[in-house]
Structures are given as structure tokens and as C-alpha cells.
Chain A
Amino acid sequence: MANRVRVKALAAPGHVRAPFYLRGRTGVIERELGVFGNPEQLAYGLPAEEKPLYRVRFTMAEIWGAAAERQDDTLDAEIYGHWLEKV
């Protein structure tokens, strides 16, 4: 996985743990967390594939643009690998 990543700007239905406010936003991988069962399957009692999970760090400027309180404050979120694309 590249160091700089973008959260895919998808609008997938169902139980998804990639928050809307981060979709399409670019950040850097803060750390790799290992693999976890895919919540998009676990939520429905289905056998879950193991998916890599990453902590991705975004600047507030990247998320909120000029409306950010402080441009270089940061937000870290956990995003599954299948929701990330290389930049």
C-alpha cells in the first residue's frame, strides 16, 4: 500500500465503515493495523474475508478546505484497504 492514499469516493449501500466525510479525501498511512474481518459482511452474519486495516491521517485542510479551524490540525481514521487507492 502506498504511503499516500485516497479514500474511494463510492456510495456503496449497506453497513460500511468508511465515513462519508472522508470519501475522496487524500491522506497518509499513519500505521498498518493488520487484518480484520470485513465489517460489510460481518454486519449481516456472513462469512467475512480478512481485510487489511490502516490508520490514515488527513489534514483538516484536506477534509474541510477553507472552512477548517486550523489547516494543519489532523484527523486519523481507520480505513480498510479495499476502500483505499494509491495516489
Chain B
Amino acid sequence: MPHDHHDHQHGPSPSGHPYRADNDGPLTYWQRMEIAVRELLVEKGHMTAAEISAQIDAMDERSPARGAAVVARAWSDPDFRAQLLEDASAAVRGFGLDIGPLNLIAVENTDRVHNLVVCTLCSCYPRDLLGLPPDWYKTRAYRSRAVFEPRKVLREFGVELPADTTVRVHDSTADMRYVVVPARPPGTEGMTEEALARLVTRDAMIGTGLAKRP
């Protein structure tokens, strides 16, 4: 019988995937606190509900495309590249990106050096440039293994480095955030910045990947 139960679904959906549970549970302390503060701010006229929605939209719109545009500029413009490596916050602001109070350091992959970014203490990530971090970036597995066995972690991400490459791991322990400038792939001479940016993946800017080849 397909319907021995009448009040709710059991077992997987026809596609085989389990149904997602309804979020009918009680609110947590912090959910109640968020709602209370938000409603008070609106009631007291400090901000409108529309402004809050617009800010959530603005945060959700941040994506690795922003970082990719910065990398493509660095590949195309030697002066910008030099400035980015010298003072990344100023270079990115000069490029026209609003990164708020972000303190940014850019580290460059070369044929001798490969850089990898991690935050062992929590999940610090350059959200203004890359959007929200991937779930794996926040796991204890990545956070603990990236500093102890980065080469093994890189191999699991499909990154095979030449034997003479030095790995430099960057642990975002305090106030700085890090972005990796991946090495420019061969065969990209003469490509436009827009086309180059499409080769720059999120993982390439964390250091767990390489830029794509055209």
C-alpha cells in the first residue's frame, strides 16, 4: 500500500532522494535574537525591511567572479600585478571593487611556488572577493589537514605539483584575508581579460585548484 500513513511522507521521493524535513522546530536562541533585533531596528526607524533585503541581496551577489576579474587584470597588467602583490587592499579598491574594511594579501603562484589558504581557527575567507566559502573550507578535516599534509590534500583536489615546487600554506589566524593569484596557464596569450577571468576558478584562488586551460 502506498499510503499506510496519512499525515506525512515516509521514505524517499519518487526520484529516490529523501524528502527534506520541514523546519517546524522551535527557534533557537540566536534565531529569536536576530528576529527581535531586526524588528526593533525597523520599528524604531533605523532601517527599513527593504534595506535589509537589499543588503542580503548584495551579500549574496558576491561571487568568485569578482576575484576572477582581479586575477585576470593582474595577468594582463604588470603594474597592477605589482601593486596587487604589494598592497592588495589598495589595488582592489583602485580596480573599483567595494571591499569594505577588508585587509587583503595576494600571494602569487609561480613555477616554483604554490600557495594554499586555510583558516585553522575558524573560517576566515575573503568573502568580498569570493562570496561565501565552500562547506569543505569550514570542516575540521580541511582546517587540520591543510597545515599538516597540504600536498596530500592538494592531490585529493586533483592538483599534482612538480617535485621542485615549494608549498606555502597561509593560515588566516587574525586580521588579514588571503587570495591566491594562480599561475597564468600556457596558451592564453592575447586573450581578453573577460576571457581570462573565465579560467579563474574559486578553488584556484584558495589554492586547492589551478586555473583552467583554454
Residues of A at the B interface (CB closer than 8 Å) are 17-19, 21, 33, 36, 39, 53, 55, 63-64, 67, 69-70, 72-80
Contact = CB atoms under 8 A, between A and B. Distances in A.
- Where chain B touches its partner, the secondary structure class is mixed
Contact of A53 (B120, B152, B169, B175): B175
A76 B171 contact: yes
Nearest to B153: A69
B175 A33 contact: yes
Contacts of B172: 78
Interface of B: 103, 105, 120-121, 147-152, 166-176
A76 B170 contact: yes
14 contacts: A17-B121, A18-B173, A19-B121, A21-B147, A53-B174, A67-B148, A73-B166, A73-B169, A74-B166, A74-B169, A76-B169, A76-B170, A78-B171, A80-B174
Contact of A77 (B103, B166, B167, B171): B171
Contacts of A55: 105, 176
B173 A70 contact: no
Contacts of B151: 69-70, 73
B120 A19 contact: yes
B174 A17 contact: yes
Nearest to B147: A75
A67 B147 CA distance: 12
A64 B148 contact: yes
A1 to B, nearest CB: 16
Contact of A39 (B166, B171, B174): B174
